Amino acid sequence: MNENQPRKPNRLINETSPYLLQHAYNPVDWYPWGDEALVRARSEDKPIFLSVGYSSCHWCHVMAHESFENEEIAKIMNENFVNIKLDREERPDLDDIYQRACQLTSGTGGWPLSVFLTPTQKPFYVGTYFPASSRQGMPGFGTILLKLAEAYKTKKDQVLSSTEEFMQALKETSVDITAQEAERLEKSMIEEAAVTLLQLGDSIHGGFGQAPKFPNASNLLFLLRAHELTGISKHKNFVIFTADKMASGGIYDHIGGGFARYSTDQRWLIPHFEKMLYDNALLTNLYAELFQLTKDTKYLKVVKGILEYVLKDMTSTEGGFYSSEDADSEGVEGKFYVWTYKEIRESIDPDIFEPFCMYFGISQGGNFEGKNILNIETSIGNLSRKFSIPEEELDLKIHVAVEKLYKIRLQRPRPGRDEKILASWNGLMISGFVDGYKITGDNKYLEAAKRAVDFIESKMTYDQNRLYRVFKDGKSKISGYLDDYALYVKGLLDLFAVESKSIYLERAIDYTKAMIDRFLDSVKGDFFFTPDDNEKLILRTKNHYDLAIPSGNSVAASNLMRLYYYTQEQDFFNKSSKLLKLSSRPATENPFGFGQLLSALYLQVRSPVEICVINNSINGKTTDGSEMANWLFSEFIPNSIPARIKEGPEYEALQKYSYFKGKENAPEMRNVLEYAYVCKDSTCSLPIASVSKLQETLKNKNSITV
């Protein structure tokens, strides 16, 4: 084909997924997943090549450039296969099934995921990235295509026979949890899991494992709860150590805020530069809780850095949150983020250049392919002493220099942005903005959370209590999965805790009941990943593992417990307990994969404390400020079930829920601007009219029994 001749688009040109659109001009005759492709495969008896990835995936881009833009390879694909391109963020159900197949065959998974299927969607060969031509022991993609095409034509019986064995093994993986159900949920489970998890930690650099190293926020959040329950300081200290290492490293964007998906090295220096919404949401939760626990403003700074990044770069004009940003710009990984020594010298004031370079580890040789990734290598205090500059003045000068670099960076071509809006990831980010509001009191963070809820309610719901998974280019599509319901309900409950409008609680209840109706395995007591009216696939799987994103089952266990305390609906408690008993043994034995589940278990074992702050109406007016609520939200009380309400119509609307009954119109509080009730283990305090009394009551009612 003449390189100057414009390419014709394939079928992907009609899709909304940024990932699929990236391949719309490939010479490969791509189909999106759907009846057209599947019917053709069956009618022509052709094997399917399924390629799974996502828009910010670096190695997906590499394989696309090497193979899917290659005319010769495309010709082999088009003649021998029905070729389907899939966005794993749109269809996590399909990705989950075929990732399990990849794990079975190779022990690993990841993206791009390359799967060869029979016309009935059963896998017979699975891998991840393949180079176009063989190298370093990896088979070339062209060779693989020819061999598999030949095998399907000449040895079809053997291929089909092998798929049956494959399917049997796959079915055995579809359940996840096979351990015997626990009879009781006990504090010792939390203690054992925390000790085991800590033994897996990296005592030199923080975090878990070697390279590549992921933040694993769910595990760190659990360890903070284990510390609160047991009083063992090493749990908290490890989280602080890890969080400090991450926030100092190159995995954190010191110029524009936000965290990259993971570090390619063990010490958090060299990131894989893509940024994912879910990581930044969960890490907001982590650093907000560390600020609550320690009152150290460095954690507040990180939270603000993440949230300002999301507001500036990852929020749609309508209020929904975008999914991710690429690692690459102009075809080069990290180009947007790195700096030469010369660029920095020419960009910032000469009087701050030397301390700035020492602070951020800037050198002429660089720390990444001859250039520099900013990472904090010393403290402001050390530099203050070395250069005889007061700390506050030095800190301000460095801040001004960072702002200059930020403005310069804005002129560079940006990495691509995936503007899909996903219900589940938005639920996580709503929780992140709520946490930001709690520790800063800044209403713009609360408004961001509320706007996102309004967006989902207006654009991503159907049939009253059903959620769509995806919104893009003005269109909502794909019936929501378990994660969409569970994580969005978590966001609603977190928002309700700080601004207790009845609509947020009502919608949380509605979606939870819809989730129970459509996803629950009534025999086992856990939830399937797909709804009961989902497209029929080769497996209906369940997920319990809390890895980069907490599982829908784990989050549902926590949501159900919280809803029980607001409503006293016994069914919520029973279903939460059933879920926890089902998963607690494997979670205790293998805590690394169950951080969120263990946090839900903590909530039941610890026993929640209800804290309701009421803004009074005096002469028809209520105060907008709330000293009690501000104090409450700034404290680390992970077993709290809080609410903040104003007397009036909203409070009256909440009276149907047991949490709020009997707390209104306390005669002795009529002339008090705000007061609170603290309830635990079915007993409530008298109304409390001061922060000091609230602190004392919580200390007495919520004390730890070790």
Span 110-158, pLDDT tens digits = 999 999 999 999 999 999 999 998 887 788 999 999 999 999 999 999 9
* Greatest Cα pair distance in the chain: 88
Q: Is the pLDDT of residue 2 over 70?
A: no
Averaged pLDDT, 411-424: 96
Band of pLDDT at residue 180, cut at 50, 70 and 90: confident
> Chain-wide mean pLDDT for the chain?
93
Q: How many contiguous H segments (helices) and E segments (strands) does the chain have? A: 26, 22
- The span from the first CA to the last CA of the chain, in angstroms, equals 74
Band of pLDDT at residue 178, cut at 50, 70 and 90: low
Q: Is the pLDDT of residue 699 over 60?
A: yes
d(CA 89, CA 629): 37
Number of neighbours of residue 31 by Cβ within 10 angstroms:
22
Span 432-479, pLDDT tens digits = 999 999 999 999 999 999 999 999 999 999 998 999 999 999 999 999
Band of pLDDT at residue 176, cut at 50, 70 and 90: low
Residues contacting residue 150 through CB under 8 Å, at least 6 positions apart: none
Span 567-589, pLDDT tens digits = 999 999 999 999 999 999 999 99
Averaged pLDDT, 80-91: 97
Amino acid at 658: S
d(CA 225, CA 639): 9
Band of pLDDT at residue 56, cut at 50, 70 and 90: confident
Span 609-668, pLDDT tens digits = 999 999 886 655 555 568 999 999 999 999 999 999 988 888 889 999 999 987 766 777
DSSP letter assigned to residue 506 = H
Structure tokens at 485: 């319901």
Residues contacting residue 536 through CB under 8 Å, at least 6 positions apart: none
Span 64-78, pLDDT tens digits = 999 999 999 999 999
DSSP characters over 670-689: TT-SEEEEEEETTEEPPPB-
Q: Is the pLDDT of residue 555 over 70?
A: yes
DSSP letter assigned to residue 520 = B
d(CA 137, CA 140): 9
Number of neighbours of residue 170 by Cβ within 10 angstroms:
21
Q: Give 272-275 contacts, CB < 8 A, sequence gap 24+.
A: 272/58, 272/212, 272/327, 272/333, 273/326, 273/327, 273/328, 273/333, 273/334, 273/336, 273/337, 273/415, 274/56, 274/57, 274/58, 274/324, 274/325, 274/326, 274/327, 274/415, 275/56, 275/309, 275/324, 275/325
What's the chain's length in residues? 706
Averaged pLDDT, 182-195: 93
**Cβ–Cβ < 8 Å for 264, 274:** no
- The full set of domains in the chain, from first to last, is 11-173 (3.40.30.10), 187-330+418-606 (1.50.10.10), 337-411 (no CATH), 609-701 (3.40.30)
d(CA 384, CA 398): 12
Beta bridge partners, 271, equal 263
Residues contacting residue 76 through CB under 8 Å, at least 6 positions apart: 142, 145, 146, 149
DSSP letter assigned to residue 527 = B
